[in-house]
Structure 1
């Protein structure tokens, strides 16, 4: 007999590609696999069944990984085109208006205004199309924020929030509405090992064809975000679902 301790490792290899890049879930915090079948029970006149047979089966996997990457999300879940660069967010960037205007620090790649507030009171300002009065502002496509000439609180300082882009340092994948039936397929391999009496014993589960029906990314005030992938396994063209391998 053997026993295992710890979450182990999970690998996903995209299918349908000439040279697929495997994705390693290297910081698992939780892994579970649920293999189950429906039971079909035949009853006669008495209380208990006279025959029980298996019906439809399913294999459902939950993978919680403490580290997440664009490649992991796109190649295993979204399945869209990934481009170099990032969409970033500036949150409460401190600004000191000059001549009633302030240019965002990342104005050259400014994308979307997310609001303005007075630095001294945190009271939000109202965005208008033109000619702002006290408590209002306008913003241009180049990230130039303009305030009322007589707005003393704005002149004293503001905080602005917005999105902007950078050309390098990451990747961006589009979330698109694709045709029904469109999805990503991959082979999943889970492995865990423990040392028993000085000998390493490893368990490996290979699932030949998988898809991910759900991705959860939950944040907490005093904890880490641990994304959770749902994985469903099914049979390949030859009718094989996978293998389970133990040391003993």
Structure 2
């Protein structure tokens, strides 16, 4: 009975080294969640030997290349860090408040203090929109009509002429790890050329009791993209390229037939 493959398959990435070249002592395999599609391309350069006639008399295989890509829908911090960036990661959440409710500017002292969810801490102003959809202007002090000022604790001060108006305040805030125990974050630093984490990639495609299994023994990611759409899920994509591991292994494949 012939063997076929169907579906996007499953892809695991097992970290080997971080971006600084440090070996991962006890690597945790990470499943690339909710796979949408993927590909592994194996190609070689061909070198031809010609004589006086039109067609070559010999063909030799030159340099080889194995590249891959996948689209996935599950957002997972450990995957981004261990496969793409390979730098230090910590707990806690950095997020934003997009205000769709609005607040009314009170009388003296014309101030509104934002209250970030989950006992969060205000970190940055993202602007104030008035009830007509116009952005208000931020100033350092003494705001006039249509202007506002904000302190580093999220205290917004407006002009006396704007009392009673509804405003929409957008801002960034952080949540401590204790209040967001599953959250992750990392600041990617500017490392020297060549610095990148490596990982092993395992592609598994089962169908009707048979399977295809492909392992790339060492790989480095070369691209991560986030393409958003107005009315659809975010489906990130990352590209990678394989190379020989310290034992000289590049790819191991296995088929049921």
Structure 1 residue 97 corresponds to structure 2 residue 108: no
Give the secondary structure class of the aligned counterpart of 1:150: helix
CA distance, structure 2, for counterparts of residue 217 and residue 121 of structure 1:
32
Residue 160 of structure 2 aligns to a residue in which SS? coil
TM-score when scaled to structure 1? 0.93
Question: Unpaired segments of 5 or more residues in structure 2?
Answer: 17-22
Corresponding residue number in structure 2 for 1:9: 10
Matches within 5 A, 1:151-166: 151-152=162-163, 155-166=164-175
Return the match for 1:175 from 176, 181, 188: 188
- Secondary structure at 2:144's aligned position in 1? coil
Structure-1 separation of matches of 2:48 and 2:114: 68
Aligned to 1:231: 240
**In the alignment, is residue 34 of structure 1 matched against residue 41 of structure 2?**
yes
Distance 1:141 1:109 in 2: 10
The alignment partner of 1:203 has SS state of strand
User: Which residue among 129, 132, 139 is the counterpart of 2:150?
Assistant: 139
1:149-189 CA distances to partner (integer Å, 9 max, x unpaired)?
1125xx32100111000013201011110111111011111
Residues 91-113 of structure 1: CA distance to partner in whole angstroms, max 9, x if unpaired? Answer: 12522222311111229611111
Moved over 3 A (4+): none
Q: Which runs of 5+ in 1 are unaligned?
A: none
Worse overlay, 107-116 or 178-187: 107-116
2:74 is aligned with 1:74: no
CA contact (8 A) 2:120 2:175 kept: no
Partner of 1:21: 28
User: Contact 1:115–1:160 (CA<8 Å) still a contact in 2?
Assistant: yes
The corresponding residue for 1:209 is 218
Say what the alpha-carbon RMSD is for the aligned residues.
1.3
Alpha-carbon distance in structure 1 between the residues aligned to 2:255 and 2:120: 57
| Contact preservation (8 Å) 2:105, 2:162 | no
Q: Distance in 1 between matches of 2:115 and 2:54?
A: 75
SS of alignment partner, residue 215 of structure 2: strand
